[in-house]
Structure 1
Amino acid sequence: MSWLYLLLALAAIVVAFKASSLAVVLVCLLVAFGLVLVWVMGILAQRVEDSSRDVGMMIDPTELRRLREQAEARKLAEANNAAPPHSDATH
């Protein structure tokens, strides 16, 4: 879509070169300048969008807390399983 603005800006410049009235030339040049700015902003917005992370992949705070609790419970379970058994036998 942003390339359409560039093509319209070029058309406005062509009209400015063909026009014989100074007012038409000024209006066409201002329109071309505005369209070039819109084109550049569109290209920049597209680049920012392409380099940003997917919002759907972000974890909300409650989900993050639940995952931390699960990891902590898993660590405690592994630590309890890895501990050597205590022998209470007296000889």
Structure 2
Amino acid sequence: MPWLFLLLGLVAMAVAMKTTSMLLMVICLLASLVFLVLWAYGWYASRVVSVSRDESLMLDPDELRRLREQAEARKLAAQVSQEPPST
């Protein structure tokens, strides 16, 4: 979609350069400016979305606490299994 705004902006600029009517030229120049700003905004937004993290992969505090407890339990189980049996 942003590329459509770029195309429309360039077409409006071309019409503004070819017309002999002052009113049409002003309207086309304003339209060209609006379309080019919309194109830049859309392009920037798509770049930001492409490098942002997926929010569904973020951990909430409860899940993070649960994972820490599991890691601690595994660590204790590994320590218990490595100790030699006492006689």
Would you call these one fold, judging by a TM-score over 0.5? yes
> Which category of TM-score, normalised to the shorter sequence, fits these structures?
0.7 to 0.9
Q: What does residue 50 of structure 1 align with?
A: 50
Query: What are the superposed Cα offsets for residues 33-60 of structure 1, whole Å, 9 maximum, x if unpaired?
Result: 1111110111111111111112222222
Question: 1:50-89, aligned counterparts within 5 Å?
Answer: 50-87=50-87
- Percent identity (aligned): 49
Code of the residue aligned with 1:3 in structure 2: it is W
Listed as ranges, the gaps of 5+ residues in structure 2 are: none
Cα RMSD of the aligned pairs, angstroms, is: 1.3
Return the TM-score normalized by structure 2: 0.88
TM-superposed CA distance for 1:25, in Å, is: 0.9
Distance 1:15 1:78 in 2: 75
Distance 2:54 2:22 in 1: 49
Listed as ranges, the gaps of 5+ residues in structure 1 are: none
Query: What are the superposed Cα offsets for residues 10-67 of structure 1, whole Å, 9 maximum, x if unpaired?
Result: 1211221232222221121111011111101111111111111122222221111111
Distance 2:62 2:24 in 1: 60
Code of the residue aligned with 1:77 in structure 2: it is A
Deviant stretches of 4+, over 6 Å: none
Code of the residue aligned with 1:29 in structure 2: it is L
Q: What does residue 5 of structure 2 align with?
A: 5
Return the TM-score normalized by structure 1: 0.84
Q: How many residues align?
A: 87
